[in-house]
Amino acid sequence: MQEWKAMLQKAENWAREAGRELVKRAEGPMDISSKTTAIDLVTEMDIWTESFLTEKIKEHYPGHKMKTEESGSYHGDSSYEWVIDPIDGTVNYARGIPFYGISIGIRHEGETAAGLVYAPKLDEMFTVLKGSGAWLNGNSIHSSETEQLEKAVIGTGFPYDKGTTGDNNLSHVNRVVPRVGGLRRTGSAALDLCQVACGRMDACWEIKLNDWDVEAGLLMVKEAGGKTKVKTEQQGLFVLASTPGIYDELNSLINRD
């Protein structure tokens, strides 16, 4: 546990340093390119942030494995693996929308032990330690106590191939929207999970995600008293996170089994 705590503290310092640069560079011209679709973007700062973080890990923890969004996997002989999304919410970042964040998950022997999601423009640092709880800027957080769907505010998102496939989340949205109090689409799965963890939203779900999108956020929800579901599908992960009071009903309504 002390080792996890020390690693998390270093990761927090690195994320804050990278975050300051993200905010600074967002105000000037930036190289932006597309990956798979016109709206699936990568900026020069995605590359810079990932490089900054991986170099820090190599310096302080040589031999640790890494899995990153832009570069893939770094192999090592350690029982630790860092799972990194340098900017979750790149489209928001590129457009000047402040809802984006750095996500870092730390796995030990295959299980998430610690993690953080840092939203630098908002200066919100979500941190989590397995078995110890979750925090926002150092203050303990907990999922909401909502027990009725009609009172719930729920988040979701859409995959980049939403215009070319029928499996684009719209059928789920059509079933959920009439039953809930409100639906939000923020553009960052990592931060959506954090909103559930701290009780701002009562649940969130999304399809076709990658583990770097959710590695830290899923543990955040669980340590904050919420329930989570992860299903590995052909095109990525289906993820559901919820306060316990509406989990079963929402899971049945989405019906992704």
Which tens digit of pLDDT belongs to each residue from 101-157?
Answer: 999 999 999 999 999 999 999 999 999 999 999 999 999 999 999 999 999 999 999
CB-count burial class (<10 Å; 0-12, 13-18, 19+) for 168: middle
Full set of structural domains in the chain with CATH:
2-140 (3.30.540.10), 149-254 (3.40.190.80)
Rounded mean pLDDT of 174-178?
Answer: 96
Which pLDDT value is given to residue 164? 83
- The answer on pLDDT for 231 being more than 60 is yes
Which tens digit of pLDDT belongs to each residue from 154-173?
Answer: 999 998 888 888 789 999 99
Which tens digit of pLDDT belongs to each residue from 240-250?
Answer: 999 999 999 99
Which tens digit of pLDDT belongs to each residue from 9-40?
Answer: 999 999 999 999 999 998 877 777 776 665 56
Give the full edge-to-edge strand order of the sheet including 182-184: 182-184, 153-155, 203-209, 236-242, 227-233
